[in-house]
Amino acid sequence: MSRYEIPQMVYEDLEVFKKNHAEFLAGTLDELTFKTMRVPFGVYEQRAANTFMVRIKLAGGILTPKQLLTLSDLAEKYAHEAIHITTRGGAQLHYVKIEDIIDIITTLHSIDLSGRGGGGNTVRNVMADPLAGTAKDEIFDVSPYALAMTSKMLEQKDSFALPRKFKITFSGSEADRGYATIHDVGFIAKIQDGVKGFKLFTAGGMGAKSRLGTLLRDFVPDTEVFLYSQAIKQVFDKYGNRKNKHAARLRFLFEDLGLEEFNKLLDVELKAVKAKGDWEMPITEIERDFGDTTHEPFAVPENIKKWWNRYVYAQKQEGLYGCKVPVHLGDIHFENARNLANALLPFGEDVLRFTGDQNLYIRNLTAPQMASLHDILQNFSKDVAKPTLFGDMVACTGAATCQLGIARPRGAVDAIQKRLNKLIDERDYDALQGFKIHLSGCPNSCGKHLIGDLGFFGKVQRNEGYSYPAYNVVAGSRTHGDGSVYAQKAGDVAAFHVPAFVEEVLDTWLLHVKAYKSFADWIDDGGLAIITEISKKYVDIPSFKEDKNPYFDYDAVELFSLKGRGTGECSAGMYDLIEADKKALKEALEKEEKDYELIRLLAARMLLVTRGEDARDKAGVLKAFKTLFVDTTLLNAYFGTMLEGDADEKSIELAEEVIKLYETMDNTLKFAKEKELAAAATQTEVKSAHFKDLSGVACPMNFVKTKMELSKIGSGEVLEILLDDGAPIDNVPKSVASEGHTVEATTKEGNGWRVRIVKK
């Protein structure tokens, strides 16, 4: 089996999403609410107005020629003519119209592919060693584990509402080509006492405040990979920071807890997962019929020898070969994708993998079969005819499309290649086989700059009052199961000078390449200081009057600025709703001509979601705000008078007070004033059960409303609630228990459930 399984739950979620989509197009569902629904399906808004990107999960980068044919059809019909390979080995379709996304997702499901979990605070695309199943150094093939983990995680309701994104990967050997040592959960294949299993790493990640993964278990039997992944995810789900998305990844939680406390919490969740059952992950080996691989000795034709030596490798299976295919900037034109898919169809299903370096591998072909693809591949990508250095340049989409982008790294790659192309005949770039240049448009590391030999991430610089694009430079990463190392800071360069800087660094490395086993060894032996000195020559730019070019980014038609840079969509949830209103409120407060009616509305609406209230019309918002924030004395009764009649300048006071209140809210959605009121009203007498009917209330509002009811009663008192079957009864009791309350009983009542809770 070479495909993951899409569970029934995902199809049911899609039906709900179709309804949301129709309501949004009809104008009855607001944009922000729709965003919280589309992002977990892998649908992101791009920087250009009214354009979207659809992300597609490819477990372990695995796809069949037939699936590639369908993707090429989708790219031609709906996207910008290209399939984009992501830095997690998945696929993306760009510049999609919002009207077309349901057709795209439905078509994807018909070929056993999905975007569910492709974005937002979800379990993201499960990666694997790109050479899995073919590498001579692998302990065993990890491909089936990536497929099975994807299927299993898609079945879990808690995979789609985490504090932040959650990433899993598998490597087949200590070479760690799947980057297990830098993931939230990473597995490296190992056999111990004849038993297949894995080394388990956790809490790794790049981006701001990067962290290498910690070796959590030296050996986990392969039957327990889902058990540990799910348990780690549950620790993250319960204790992760949901309020501050900049400190919400698992690595921040791990740092806060420490290894000992993390292991204690993990042991609790391991027991919980086992008690629930269905934790063993069935593994189905990928079916491969190689046929007769014996043939006459093959002599590589002279006209393809250079390409063969650069990109073709012998697999562990005698007589079979694999081939790395460089894909320029990860973009495959639909016609090239179609031609390649048709050429691969006769060779079976397991012949293709997308990779995290935005390239692809062809695999399981005999030498004559591989040689027959040469001409097709020459037209496939402009990097195929060049040294591997060119195809190993990785860049995120950057400011051209990304809401978070600062610089435009794709344009920088083109500029670097244009400069190096002129030197190919003069320089021995084949001596730099395996050298990786990675660029990210901002510190978030979507271009994985921290694991490049030479890495760049975007920043803003200023000269004489003008902004211009620039990059931080890092160098010398290592990736290995016995100890990975991120690239080290090596200076700063203006974006305009990046091509010249790269040329000089490569020329310098060519002088030393034969003396060292790796670029990282040279960096550790004085190379870092050399690169830092080189970078100093490329920091400064001329004045704006002298030369305007450095003040434009690559492929840009306007002067560089951060105009259009947004907040991103990876944290689509309750706090995004709050922050969106808060931002709009602050903007309204800063205007010279104040719209007091708007200020009052935004101030009153901003925190309603924390109380399970989603009123959006003016009358409903003002009424709910008075009931939930003024009548409860969270705000002084004085502010209640501001909700009546026409709004005036006093609305500014209300707005400032609401913002101050929000700043006192903790991770459990409680305000400092609430805690004071609760302490003053502590009761020792246990009263009869309080009751709240929450049937018909969907997640997460049912949980928020439960918390509100619990806030009204004292410690030891009882609350009984009614919940619907399905997600409500699955999630709310678990969430309540995670906050320390006791769930005494869950009893079936009609079509729903009665839950009895004792407040802690």
Task: From 484, 514, 406, 394, select the one nearest 169 (Cα to Cα).
Answer: 484
Neighbour count for residue 423 (Cβ, 10 Å): 12
Task: From 746, 750, 718, select the one nearest 732 (Cα to Cα).
Answer: 746
Check residue 465 and give its pLDDT. 67
The answer on pLDDT for 36 being more than 90 is no
Coil vs helix vs strand at 459: strand
The answer on pLDDT for 570 being more than 60 is no
Identify the DSSP state of 162: -
Contact 361, 353 (CB under 8 A): yes
Angle at 153 between CA 232 and CA 127, to 5 degrees: 85
Single-letter residue type at 373: L
Burial classification of residue 80, based on how many CB atoms lie within 10 Å of its CB (0-12 exposed, 13-18 middle, 19 or more buried): middle
**Alpha-carbon separation of residue 683 from 688, 692, 716, 717, 758 (angstroms):** 13, 20, 9, 9, 14
Check residue 737 and give its pLDDT. 80
Q: What does pTM read for this prediction?
A: 0.76
DSSP 329-393: GGEEEHHHHHHHHHHHGGG-SSSEEE-TTS-EEEEEE-HHHHHTTHHHHHHH-TTTTS-HHHHTE
The answer on pLDDT for 631 being more than 90 is no
Neighbour count for residue 96 (Cβ, 10 Å): 23
Check residue 688 and give its pLDDT. 58
Model confidence at 282, pLDDT cuts 50, 70, 90, reads: confident
Which two three-digit tokens encode residue 112?
A: 């056993």
Coil vs helix vs strand at 542: coil
- How far apart are the C-alpha atoms of 456 and 468, rounded to whole Å? 16
The answer on pLDDT for 614 being more than 60 is no
Q: Residue 693: enclosing H or E segment and its boundaries?
A: strand 690-693
Neighbour count for residue 304 (Cβ, 10 Å): 17
Check residue 571 and give its pLDDT. 35
Model confidence at 467, pLDDT cuts 50, 70, 90, reads: confident
Neighbour count for residue 684 (Cβ, 10 Å): 7
Model confidence at 683, pLDDT cuts 50, 70, 90, reads: very low
CATH number for region 1-118+301-385: 3.90.480.20
Q: Residue 482: enclosing H or E segment and its boundaries?
A: none
Contact 394, 452 (CB under 8 A): yes
CA pseudo-torsion sign 294, 300, 304, 305: positive
The residue written with tokens 């730019």 in the block is 541
Q: Do domains 121-287 and 391-551 have the same CATH topology?
A: yes
Please give the average per-residue pLDDT across 273-279, as a whole number: 94
The answer on pLDDT for 237 being more than 50 is yes
Which two three-digit tokens encode residue 145?
A: 């584990």
- Average of per-residue pLDDT values in the chain: 89
185 or 556, which is more confident = 185
Summarize pLDDT for 5-29 with one digit per residue, the tens: 999 999 999 999 999 999 999 998 8
Contact 545, 219 (CB under 8 A): no
Single-letter residue type at 117: G
In this prediction, what percent of the chain has a pLDDT beyond 90? 63
CATH number for region 682-758: 3.30.110.40
Domain residue spans of the chain = 1-118+301-385, 121-287, 391-551, 574-669, 682-758
Model confidence at 384, pLDDT cuts 50, 70, 90, reads: very high
Identify the DSSP state of 573: S
Coil vs helix vs strand at 453: coil
Check residue 734 and give its pLDDT. 78
Contact 127, 356 (CB under 8 A): yes
Neighbouring C-alpha atoms within 13 Å toward the C-beta of 530: 16
705 or 674, which is more confident = 705
Contacts of 470 (CB under 8 A, 6+ apart): 407, 458, 459, 460, 461, 492, 493, 494, 495, 539
In this prediction, what percent of the chain has a pLDDT beyond 70? 93
The answer on pLDDT for 277 being more than 90 is yes
CA pseudo-torsion sign 15, 18, 19, 20: positive
Please give the average per-residue pLDDT across 167-191, as a whole number: 98
Q: 391-551 sits in which CATH class?
A: alpha beta
DSSP 10-73: HHHHHHHHHHHHHHHHHTSS-HHHHHHHHGGGTEEE-SSTT-EEEEE--GGGB--HHHHHHHHH
Summarize pLDDT for 154-176 with one digit per residue, the tens: 999 999 989 999 999 999 999 99
- How far apart are the C-alpha atoms of 702 and 707, rounded to whole Å? 9
Contact 152, 280 (CB under 8 A): no
Asked if omega into 700 is within 30° of 0 (cis), the reply is yes
Check residue 682 and give its pLDDT. 47
Long-range contacts from 71-74, C-beta under 8 angstroms, 24+ separation: 71/337, 72/334, 72/335, 72/337, 72/338, 72/341, 73/334, 73/338, 74/104, 74/107, 74/108
- Tell me the residue ranges of DSSP E strands in 57-173: 82-85, 91-96, 127-128, 168-171
Which two three-digit tokens encode residue 422?
A: 């002129």
The answer on pLDDT for 453 being more than 80 is yes
Q: 121-287 sits in which CATH class?
A: alpha beta
- How far apart are the C-alpha atoms of 727 and 250, rounded to whole Å? 24
- Report the relative pairing of strands 331-333 and 82-85 from DSSP bridges: antiparallel
Beta bridge partners of 722: 693, 754
